Amino acid sequence: MHQIITISTNCREGLFDITTDVERILSSSKIRNGLLNIYAQGATAAIMIQENCDESVQTDVVKLLRKLIPEGVWLHDKQDGNGDSHLKAGIIGPSETIPIIDGKLGLSTWQNIFFCEFDGPRQSRSIAVSIISND
């Protein structure tokens, strides 16, 4: 099965916690064991599993990527000014796969699922959630 999550973002670069949305989809699926994949539909966005307790970690991720991949110095910037956004999304990657164990996401206590925006703000971003059952 699969469903689409739609979110809006309010900044050029940021991590947005989508764990609750993903858990809701899993719960409605009634699947007890299997795999769940989250996929960012967009060339300037990504999915990351990261620390959920201390927001400074999410801020640090954005700061690190800004230092490694600065704005305004890439060939693609001549086209639409977002060369860094494509590179950041490519490094982080568009998807994550999480095991489903007894009807729950197989995340640790300190992990959540984040949509990574690198070219916002955007009124609408789509995230595909696909579930494969082992039941």
Q: What is the pLDDT of residues 24-72, one digit of tens each?
A: 999 999 999 999 999 999 999 999 999 989 989 999 999 999 999 999 9
- The predicted model scores a pTM of 0.96
What pLDDT shows up at residue 61? 97
> Rg (Cα) of the chain, in Å, rounded?
16
What pLDDT shows up at residue 135? 80
User: Is the alpha carbon torsion for 20, 133, 101, 36 positive or negative?
Assistant: negative
- Domains in the chain, start-ordered, CATH in brackets? 2-133 (2.60.120.460)
Residue 21 has pLDDT above 90, yes or no: yes
Q: What is the 3-state secondary structure (H, E, C) of 62-91?
A: HHHHHHHCCCCCCCCHHHHCCHHHHHHHHH
pLDDT band at 105 (very low <50, low <70, confident <90, very high): very high
What pLDDT shows up at residue 84? 98
What pLDDT shows up at residue 32? 97
Mean pLDDT value of segment 76-91: 96
